């Protein structure tokens, strides 16, 4: 692996390692007989990363299987999220948008696995080390993207709007944006700036989906099986990585700027698809919301 891949901004630790957690969950989901989303690349990321030694890529490799809070319920959450956001992106590109911007793209392989319209461009924004690792693995597999794909290696706390436009993004054309598993790692001011920037770069007909946590106090669920099992089994302390500042009301801010927004719980989609996590006691997922927003044409 390159220096960047193992370095401070790579996938070996810190927030970069969470990209591998989601990849492992997608690998497990892919191998389920009733999978909601298939990502044949996901297990290759896990197998290539020394930081994931011993992680499962199939539920059969987990001694307590679906009863395991991390590789059972939490992984199923990521599988459901992947499917719901796949559907959202495909709906958006078949409507107006031909530019797709994945903010905090991590090891998202949608450019390689979804059937995009021929004129689609997919911009993947994440830190250089994460994207370097991703490229090494995908190059090793000779994977070919199914749309034009433009990596934008930059920290989202820097001037990513300029980097994106230099990379070819056109603010005058409709776009669809995704911030999946991202915003709660960022300072509140960075989230506000990110949402403002998406609004500024979005013309009418654009769309955005993002995930937030509404919990007033993230520590309320610190003993939740999802958090404790993630720390104990793979050494990722999510509460330590989440930004603990009070969060902006990004959905409300977009509504105030004329976007139409819908704020949904993941559990609604579990019921719709017939599989996925349902509410439980002391639930780290209780405050999770998936927000879908559309900017009307003038
Ligand atoms: N969206 C991907 C997915 O769902 O598979 C990755 C989610 S992963 C939980 C979080 C991602 O956000 C990581 O890839 C991490 O590098 C990225 N990220 C976190 N903070 C960032 C920042 N300040 N700038 C750029 N990327 C960041």
- For the chain, give the longest Cα–Cα distance: 55
Q: Is the pLDDT of residue 2 over 50?
A: no
pTM of structure: 0.97
Q: Is the pLDDT of residue 5 over 60?
A: no
* Pocket probe mutation, ligand 1, options 125, 185, 210, max atoms within 8 Å of Cβ: 185
- Provide the total of helices (H) and of strands (E) in the chain, helices listed first: 12, 7
Domains of the chain: 3-294 (3.40.50.150)
Average pLDDT, the chain: 95
How do residues 210-223 score in pLDDT, each as one tens digit?
A: 999 998 889 999 99
* Residue 212 and residue 266 in contact, taking contact as beta carbons nearer than 8 Å: no
Centre of ligand 1 from the C-alpha of residue 131, in Å: 10
> DSSP character for 148?
E
Q: What pLDDT does residue 7 have?
A: 56
Query: If you take atom 17 of ligand 1, which residue's CA is the nearest one?
Result: 104
Task: Report residue 9's pLDDT band, with 50, 70 and 90 as the boundaries.
Answer: confident
Centre of ligand 1 from the C-alpha of residue 15, in Å: 7
How do residues 165-213 score in pLDDT, each as one tens digit?
A: 999 999 999 999 999 999 999 999 999 999 999 999 999 999 999 999 9
Query: If you take atom 15 of ligand 1, which residue's CA is the nearest one?
Result: 16
Q: Is the pLDDT of residue 74 over 50?
A: yes
Q: What pLDDT does residue 216 have?
A: 86
Long-range contacts of 222-231 (CB under 8 A, 24+ apart): 223/282, 224/282, 224/283, 224/284, 225/69, 225/73, 225/282, 226/69, 226/70, 226/73, 226/74, 226/283, 226/284, 226/285, 227/284, 228/69, 229/68, 229/69, 229/70, 229/74, 230/21, 230/70, 230/74
How do residues 10-57 score in pLDDT, each as one tens digit?
A: 888 899 999 999 999 999 999 999 999 999 999 999 999 999 999 999
Q: Is the pLDDT of residue 93 over 60?
A: yes
Centre of ligand 1 from the C-alpha of residue 156, in Å: 9
- In ligand 1, the atom with minimum distance to the C-alpha of 102 is 1
Ligand 1 surroundings by CB, under 6 angstroms: 15-16, 18-19, 22, 104-108, 126-127, 130, 155-157, 180-182, 185-186
Q: What pLDDT does residue 6 have?
A: 47
Centre of ligand 1 from the C-alpha of residue 106, in Å: 5
Centre of ligand 1 from the C-alpha of residue 210, in Å: 12
Q: What integer is the mean pLDDT of 225-237?
A: 97
75 phi/psi in degrees, rounded to 5: -65, -35
Centre of ligand 1 from the C-alpha of residue 41, in Å: 17
77 phi/psi in degrees, rounded to 5: -60, -50
* Pocket probe mutation, ligand 1, options 6, 15, 188, max atoms within 8 Å of Cβ: 15
Centre of ligand 1 from the C-alpha of residue 146, in Å: 22
How do residues 115-157 score in pLDDT, each as one tens digit?
A: 999 999 999 999 999 999 999 999 999 999 999 999 999 999 9
* Residue 157 and residue 164 in contact, taking contact as beta carbons nearer than 8 Å: no
Q: What pLDDT does residue 8 have?
A: 64
């Amino acid at each position: 692996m390159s220096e960047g891949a193992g370095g401070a901004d790579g996938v070996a630790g810190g927030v970069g390692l969470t990209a591998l957690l989601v990849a492992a969950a997608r690998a497990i989901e892919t191998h389920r007989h009733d999978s909601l989303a298939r990502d044949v690349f996901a297990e290759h990321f896990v197998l290539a990363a020394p930081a994931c030694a011993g992680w499962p890529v199939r539920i059969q490799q987990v001694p307590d299987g679906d009863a395991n809070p991390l590789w059972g319920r939490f992984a199923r959450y990521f599988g459901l999220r992947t499917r719901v956001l796949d559907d959202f992106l495909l709906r958006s590109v078949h409507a107006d948008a031909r530019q797709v911007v994945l903010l905090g793209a991590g090891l998202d392989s949608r450019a390689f696995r979804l059937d995009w319209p021929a004129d689609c461009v997919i911009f993947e924004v994440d830190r250089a080390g994460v994207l370097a690792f991703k490229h090494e693995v995908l190059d090793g597999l000779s994977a070919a993207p199914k749309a034009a794909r433009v990596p934008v290696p930059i920290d989202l706390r820097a001037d990513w709007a300029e980097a994106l436009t230099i990379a070819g993004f056109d603010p005058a054309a409709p776009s669809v944006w995704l911030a999946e598993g991202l915003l709660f790692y960022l300072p509140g001011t960075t989230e506000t700036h990110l949402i403002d920037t998406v609004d500024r770069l979005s013309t009418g007909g654009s769309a955005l989906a993002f995930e937030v946590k509404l919990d007033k106090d993230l520590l309320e669920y610190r003993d939740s099986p999802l958090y404790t099992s993630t720390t104990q089994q793979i050494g990722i302390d999510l509460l330590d990585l989440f930004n603990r500042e009070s969060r902006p009301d990004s959905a409300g801010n977009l509504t105030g700027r004329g976007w139409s927004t819908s704020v949904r719980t993941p559990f609604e989609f579990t019921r719709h698809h017939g599989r996925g996590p349902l509410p439980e006691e002391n639930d780290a997922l209780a405050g999770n919301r998936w927000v879908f927003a559309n900017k009307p044409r003038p």
